[in-house]
Structure 1
Amino acid sequence: MSKQDSHRLDSDTLSYFKRVKEVIQDDSFENDEDKSMFVQNVFEQVLDKTIELCKHQNTSLILEQLIPMMNHNQICAFDAKLKESFKSLATDRAGSHVIQAVIAKITKLLQENNLKEKILTMYMELICQTCQIVQQEITTLIFDTYASHILRQILVLISGLRTTDNNLDKPSQPVKLRHKEANSIDYYLQKELNIAIRKPLNNRLMELTTEITSKCNFNHIITNTMSCSVLEVLLTALAKGNTPSCRDLILKIIGEIDSFNLRHHDSSSSILPCFSHPVVSHLFDKILQVASANTLDHVYSKYLKNSLLTMSLHPIANHSVQNFISHSQFETQIESAMSELSDYFEDIFAVGHCGIIVSMLQTGVRYPKYQKKLWKSLVTAFHVTEDQDYYNKCVLLIITLSTYEVYFNVENTDGDTENKTLTEINHFGALILQSLFKFNSNSDLLKSWFLLKREELLFIACDITGNHIIEAFFESSTISYKKKKKLIDLYKGSYCHLACNKYGSRSLECCWRAAEMTLKEEIAKELVEQGSNLRSNFYGKIIFHKCNLQYFKKKIEMWSSKEQAKDRKRQTLSSILDEVNDNTKQAKRALAKSSNLSDSKKGSNYFGKELSLLGFKPQNLEEADNAEKNTATSSKTTTDCIDEVFGKANMDNKGNIQSKKLKTQVSEEQQGDNSEVKKDMQPILEAITSIKKRKKSKKTTKRKFMS
């Protein structure tokens, strides 16, 4: 296609855009006015041959770099030109990336809160028009190699998916990334969309979901790579809004998977066809990730129960087991998984499906009652017997993912194999060790950890994978400060070496955060002695400023006060985040209970209106609704509290006094006495109040209408 496209553009046009590319890359504009004039001149040339330029392999790349520089009017005019041949461009190798760049530009603009209402309305019209075109051509676009990426990006925009949302599969990056000079574009939102457009966009999401479920052939859609990727993003988007549409879509997909299993049934295999198919299994994994607790329990009982071991050894199905263990929400499911898999760790290691073991250990952190069993199964898999000498080597075996006989080459009696030094770290071994550091009872592990040689500990700290092990060690709440201090002391004399290493500097930061003031002074003294080496090194320079060593050298009292203020802020933030996590867990448990009630009373709810006319009241359903409302209210209160505290923190940056204020404000918010915070945060509180009033008025109107 690119060869055909090249004949559509004359040599003058190509040479012109070659010069445009050079100007964009040089970025030597004297001021913004010159830049705007340049963009306007190029834009006028683009409008005459928009479709041809978008489909050309070289000029499309230049357009992708030009789009972020366009103003509102230019974006609208350019988008209108694209819509004239939307289907043709969306299914084109080069043109599809230009459309993606336009959507990315609009996405970035809609995250700004200071946009005028007129501009917001203008962009909303653009999005609605795009959604309408997509809905009309959905049966073609969803299966197309290039257009499916545009669909995924539109779903991200209208659902407000953010980079912080879990389990996001990133849409295809534009071809522009072949150029290092091109501006990086993140297709997932960095912050919430403008509040005025969330509901209209959500309506577009529901409409697009309806079109996909009603018009598309799901027999084909669940086995096609492109359409399956669209469904996965759609499931994530619907799960984010916690809408009934998510459950409906999951049930529809499961129904099609049942049909797929019947059509491809193989009596010689103990694995269901949906788990051995590379595309369908990937879609099933997404269901396991986003399904509610009850839906997940239903899926487990129907597809996974008593099959976990067989699936764990399968090259494709093992990923479904890993996702199930990671996202299971009922202890009965965890207990079942433990009983099926705990005696077969060595077999799972042998086939290389280490992710399952990592998931089980991470689950063990959530459910401490299984930690002893997991530890015993793990050391048995590495052939560590009750012999204390074997236990002393367990960290080396885990971190290299080797059995005792293999690592120490027991069959070869020549040489001193026991003094073998660690020279490589296995990725999964590092993940296992990170989880084990979070276990409540880890005395055997820590004993083996501190029997490592000093050079081995330095090697771990300076390794691309090993530095995460050091971070997990210092962040673990189950490891005492005495043990953490012991590790920091072992690094004494090598602080500068760590600071000047790319990954060692990360490890040193972890040491610094965990250390108390007296220990920080010792580290600072050693670093200051080699201050010139630190300042001449890229990573050392960062450590020098992060540790405020410029103050330590001149005024140690000022340095001490700054470090103490940092520690207090960090502790305050940590306590607030812990409280939020606790409230989130309580909210999830309450929602799970309410969903149980609603599921158990689903039959009576179906005839709710008829029963109410006869004088019957579905009380259990009312209780469930009240429980859900109370949960939502408590969750909002916590969020408002955090917003108010950090809003205040950004306004008043006053060291020690500020930390005390933060603590006071948090306690006052918890007790309901937040008058002082409201006074300082009046604009935000007024906005929150107005939003709540609007929601309340809508609910009141709805109730009146229903009555």
Structure 2
Amino acid sequence: MPKELRKRGRRAEKQSKEADGRDGPPTKKRRTEEPQQSFAVNGDAGDDLITFGQDYGNEDQDDQQITFYGLLTEEEQEYYANVNNKISVNDFENEEDRAIFIEAVHQESNGKEIKVASSQSSSRYLETIIRLSTAKQLRSLFLAFLQDLNYLVQHRFGSHCCETLFLESAKHVDIKSKSTEDGNTSFENLFLEAATKLQANIGFLLTERFASHTIRVLLLVLSGQPLQDAAAKETVGSRKKEKPGLLHHAEADSTEVRKVPHSFKRARRDLVVAAVSGLDTNYLRALATSPTGNPVLQLLLRLELSEDAKDGQNDHIVLQKLIPDQNFEPESDSSKFVSSLVYDSTGAYLIQTLVRNLPGKSFKKMYRNLFRDRIGKLAKNEMASYVAISIFERVGKDDLAHAVEELVQELPGLLERNRLAVVRTLVERSAVREVDLLPIREVLAQTYGSDPKVRLQKMLKLEGLESSVSEGGEEKGKERLPVDLQGSLLAQSMLRTSQLCEFVQETLLAQSDSILFQLAKSPIASRIIQVALTSERSSSKFLRQIVPVFNNMVLDLATDVSGSHVVDALWNATNGSHFMKERIAKALQSSETKLRDSMYGRTVWKNWHMDLYQRKHREWQAIAKGLDQEPTQENDSRPRKSAIELARERYMQKQPKNNQNKATGANTVKANA
């Protein structure tokens, strides 16, 4: 009898286990200290799982097993793969054709929505379909997910579908809607029902591996905060989550604060109270160092502190339990707790959230009692430096000036160890608060040297660049420079300040043409040249010296992915120096064929209005000198009025109204004709 075909090795065994649990991980049983008691742990939760003090399920759910919804057949998987391919290539005649196709997909998925969301491959396709669905289709899918929402939010693949469904459905929430919309359940009631279903297990779900992200999205939707801003992405989204690059045109509208019904705020508050009310301070603080619990605390604190303080329901439940003593006395437990998290790789994120969102009085007490006298030590530490950056962004002018005095002695060490993010933030905030930057300039001159020719190379970690370029010749010049990103960002920030811009401008002027050519073609270093050409701090004297350097290399830069942006910046840099702009335009015209054959060259040709330069040179000169508005795509094709026509219009406007439009001779028309 033939043996079953099997693969040997640990990898094959691991793959087979993953394949068995692909469409729904099996329920695991973990024994506690008492052999008679056990509770179910779903997914890949380990022994280091920290929850909000609640087990999954209630007393009635101890013996409840997770429902298995089955697997998709090969024909069904192939169907959804073909659907995804058709959507990806946008194989539709018009928008109506695509809408009909999406409706057909929803009808095909009727009754097996949960099974599709639990599939490893088809769940990705379902996310794409959700983004293209109408409000009616989203409502139908929402109702299907509510049948077993607790299962889906904990599923490895179904949780992502729930996140996408919540985000898309949030766009259709209307604060003026009634309990039903056209006989159907409103999105307001759908979200409230989802919150009610998840509230019983909220303590476990907030720190569960997969459900945590979905619950955070739901809390964000209920709060009315923006869904796509930077703070939301940091505390809600997962870094490992796949970002499908399809149809994100509607996400730009989600950066604004949304108006939500009052019932949403009550539902969010009920969820928070259900999760936190039964916990003591020590247990809640333990979540601050948990990789899963820390983002939860960040979101809860940010939503809680962002609410209007005049709202009678805003009691700062989480903040009061996490930090009972907000006076931050040096020997208090709250001060010790905050000080211990500053140097923790996970807890530092929570301190950053407190620094950014604490009320003004509480922040001033925390800063003066805990951070003011040790700001230099914080800036030197790898993790605490991020807290120092958040402090620089919040403090006022006097405290920022004190921080500059404290950090002057530490700046040489920070520059040598390439901790330039702290220095860059200090420079930017000092420029905003109008703090004296001369002490920082002296330290920069001592660290990077007095020779302006070598100064920029040290900032960008390119020591010995000139000798390597001269020895390597053309082949070496084609390679991209390994430029340090933090050094480039620091140089850009210095160019935007009045006291430090000359420090970078001098080193740019001291570079040879070959070095500037290499810097202009670098994706990172070219940003320095762009800022130097377009910054408001750049004087006309500096621009008259730096612009002619690029005259001989403008053609090679125009066809380069990074150099083309430098050529675009030369348009604004030559404002007020028309002869320089004419010279560059003439050089571009001489290589029209080369530019039109390049994708980046065509962009440069368009930004420099070269078609107008060739056909209507006077109008191009008017635009170049700022005497006329730049033509748009609509009126560019319209015929321009000649000088004699414009003169006739001015003449007619000066004539009395009773004599206007009265022709003579053969052009006379009788009134009754």
Letter in 1 for 2:556: H
- Residue 141 of structure 2 aligns with an amino acid whose one-letter code is F
Q: 1:434 is matched by which residue type in structure 2?
A: Q
State whether structure 2 residue 488 is matched by structure 1 residue 440.
no
Alignment of 1:86-101 (within 5 A): 86-101=149-164
1:476 paired to 2:535 = yes
RMSD: 4.4
Q: Distance in 2 between matches of 1:127 and 1:147?
A: 16
Give distance in 2, aligned partners of 1:282 and 1:179: 27
Note closer, same or farther for the CA distance 1:401–1:274 as it changes in structure 2 (3 Å cut).
farther
Deviation at 1:177, TM superposition (A): 4.0
**Equivalence for 2:118:** 55
Please report how far the alpha carbon of residue 488 of structure 1 lies from its aligned counterpart in structure 2 after TM superposition: 1.6
Q: CA deviation at 1:50?
A: 2.1
Q: Tell me the CA shift for residue 108 of structure 1.
A: 4.5
Q: Deviations over 1:158-184 (max 9, x none)?
A: 42316566685174369994766x545
1:64 maps to 127
CA distance in 2, matches of 1:444, 1:194: 45
Equivalent residue number for residue 494 of structure 1 = 553
Match of 1:221 in 2: 287
Greater mean alpha carbon deviation, residues 162-171 or residues 45-54: 162-171
Q: Given the alignment of the two structures, is residue 160 of structure 1 paired with residue 225 of structure 2, yes or no?
A: yes
2:489 is aligned with 1:431:
yes
Which of residues 39, 42, 45 is equivalent to 2:102?
Answer: 39
How far 1:342 sits from its partner (Å)?
0.9
Take 1:510 and 1:562, find their aligned partners in 2: how far apart are those partners?
16
Residue aligned with 1:57, SS: coil
Q: Secondary structure at the match of 1:396?
A: helix
**Residue equivalent to 1:396:** 457
CA–CA distance in 2 between the matches of 1:542 and 1:246? 55
Match of 1:679 in 2: none
Q: 1:17 to 1:350 in 2, by over 3 A?
A: same
1:374 Cα deviation (Å)? Answer: 0.9
Within a 5 Å distance, the mapping from 1:543-558 to structure 2 comes to 543-558=604-619
Asked if the contact 2:117/2:126 (under 8 Å) is kept, the reply is: yes
Describe the shift of the 1:494–1:276 C-alpha distance in structure 2 as closer, same or farther (beyond 3 A).
same
**Does the CA contact (< 8 Å) of 1:308 and 1:321 recur in 2?**
yes
Q: Structure 2 residue aligned with 1:463, among 519, 522, 547?
A: 522
Matched, 1:342 2:404: no
Report the CA distance between 1:208 and its aligned residue. 4.6
CA change 1:133–1:566 in 2 (3 A) is farther
> SS state of the match for residue 479, structure 1?
coil
Distance 1:552 1:472 in 2: 26
In the alignment, the residues of structure 2 paired with residue 174 and residue 398 of structure 1 have an alpha-carbon distance, to the nearest angstrom, of: 30
Superposition deviation, residue 25 in structure 1? 4.0
Q: Secondary structure at the match of 2:110?
A: helix
Counterpart in 2 of 1:304?
371
The one-letter code sitting in structure 1 at the alignment partner of 2:225 is G
Counterpart residue identity of residue 142, structure 1: L
Shift of 1:112: 13
Partner of 1:530: 591
Letter of the structure 2 residue corresponding to residue 494 of structure 1? M
CA distance in 2, matches of 1:511, 1:90: 53
Aligned counterpart in structure 2 of residue 3 of structure 1, from 20, 28, 45: 20
Q: CA deviation at 1:262?
A: 8.4
SS of residue paired to 1:447: helix
Query: What percentage of residue pairs aligned between the two structures are identical?
Result: 15
1:452 aligns with 2:511: yes
> CA offset at residue 391 of structure 1?
5.1
Q: Judging changes above 3 Å, is the alpha-carbon distance between structure 1 residues 407 and 556 closer, same or farther for their aligned structure 2 residues?
A: closer
**Aligned with residue 356 of structure 2, among 289, 314, 320:** 289
Q: Cα–Cα, structure 1 residues 332 and 25, in superposed 2: closer, same or farther, change >3 Å?
A: closer
Q: TM-score, normalised by structure 2?
A: 0.71
Residue in 1 aligned with 2:147? 84
Amino acid at match of 2:427: L
The verdict on how the C-alpha distance between 1:246 and 1:428 changes in structure 2, with shifts beyond 3 A counting, is farther
| Equivalences for residues 43-442 of structure 1 within 5 A | 43-109=106-172, 118=181, 122-157=186-221, 158-161=223-226, 163=228, 168-169=233-234, 171-172=236-237, 177=242, 182-184=246-248, 189-190=253-254, 192=256, 197=260, 201=264, 204-214=267-277, 218-238=284-304, 241=307, 243=309, 245=314, 249-250=318-319, 252-255=321-324, 272-325=339-392, 327-382=393-448, 384=449, 390=451, 393-400=454-461, 423-442=481-500
CA distance in 2, matches of 1:566, 1:221: 62
CA displacement 1:340-378 (0-9 Å, x = unmatched): 221121222344432212122222312444210111122
Q: How many residues align?
A: 552
**Aligned equivalents of 1:451, 1:501: Cα separation in 2:** 24
Deviations 1:669-695 (A, max 9, x none): xxxxxxxxxxxxxxxxxxxxxxxxxxx
- Matched residue of 1:343: which SS? coil
The residue type equivalent to 2:105 in the other structure is V
2:537 aligned counterpart, secondary structure: coil
User: Could you tell me how far apart the structure 2 residues matched to 1:566 and 1:280 are?
Assistant: 57
Residue 102 of structure 1: how far off its partner (Å)? 1.1
The answer (yes or no) to whether the contact 1:293–1:329 under 8 Å persists in 2 is no
Judging changes above 3 Å, is the alpha-carbon distance between structure 1 residues 447 and 21 closer, same or farther for their aligned structure 2 residues? closer
- Give the deviation of 1:555 after TM superposition: 0.3
Distance 1:566 1:177, change over 3 A: farther
1:358 and 1:246 map into 2 onto residues whose CA distance is: 37
CA distance in 1 between partners of 2:350 and 2:609 (Å): 50
Change (3 A) 1:18 1:427: closer
Quick check: 1:328–1:334 contact (8 Å CA) kept in 2? no
Q: Secondary structure at 2:545's aligned position in 1?
A: helix
| CA offset digits 1:543-570 (Å, max 9, x no partner) | 2112221111100122234456698799
How big is the shift at 1:67? 1.6
Provide the secondary structure at the position in 2 that maps to 1:222.
helix
C-alpha separation in 2, matches of 1:41 and 1:397 = 61
Whichever residue aligns with residue 552 of structure 1, its letter is Y
Higher percent of residues as helix: 1
Deviation at 1:451, TM superposition (A): 0.9
What SS is found at the alignment partner of 2:499?
coil
Q: Counterpart amino acid of 1:13? A: E
**C-alpha distance 556-375 of structure 1, shift in aligned 2 (>3 A):** same
- Trace 1:605-684 onto structure 2 (pairs within 5 A): none
Taking structure 1 as reference, are residues 101 and 566 closer, same or farther at Cα in structure 2, changes over 3 Å only? Answer: farther
Whole-angstrom distance in 2 between the partners of 1:559 and 1:520? 11
- 1:388-425 Cα offsets, whole Å, 9 max, x none, are 5x3553333223287xxx9999xxxxx9xxxx999542
Give the 3 Å change call, closer, same or farther, for CA 90–322 of structure 1 in structure 2: same
CA contact (8 A) 1:368 1:439 kept: no
- The 3 A distance-change label for structure 1 pair 510 and 64 is same
Return the alpha-carbon distance in structure 1 between the equivalents of residues 421 and 213 of structure 2.
28
Instruction: Please state how far the C-alpha of 1:295 moved relative to its aligned partner.
Output: 3.0
* C-alpha displacement of 1:538: 0.9
Matches of 1:284 and 1:395, distance apart in 2: 35
Distance 1:464 1:263, change over 3 A: same
**Alpha-carbon distance in structure 2 between the residues aligned to 1:48 and 1:61:** 18
Counterparts of 1:170 and 1:262, CA distance in 2: 28
How far residue 236 of structure 1 moved from its aligned partner, in angstroms, is 4.1
Cα offset, 1:86, TM superposition: 1.0
CA distance in 2, matches of 1:99, 1:392: 57
Residue 539 (structure 1) aligned to one of 594, 600, 603:
600
- State the alpha-carbon separation in 2 of the partners of residues 464 and 103 from structure 1: 38
The 8 Å contact of residues 281 and 320 in structure 1, kept in 2 or not, is answered as yes
1:488/1:205 CA distance change after superposition, 3 Å: farther
Structure of greater relative contact order (alpha carbons < 8 Å, 6+ residues apart): 2
Q: Which has the larger radius of gyration?
A: 2
User: Would you say the 8 A contact 2:325–2:334 is kept in 1?
Assistant: no
Q: Is the 8 A contact 1:155 1:205 kept in 2?
A: yes
Shift of 1:491: 0.9
Q: Which amino acid aligns with 1:95?
A: G
Deviation at 1:436, TM superposition (A): 1.8
Q: 1:198 offset after TM fit, Å?
A: 6.5
Structure 1, unmatched stretches of 5+, are: 410-414, 571-648, 656-707
CA positional deviation for 1:34: 4.7
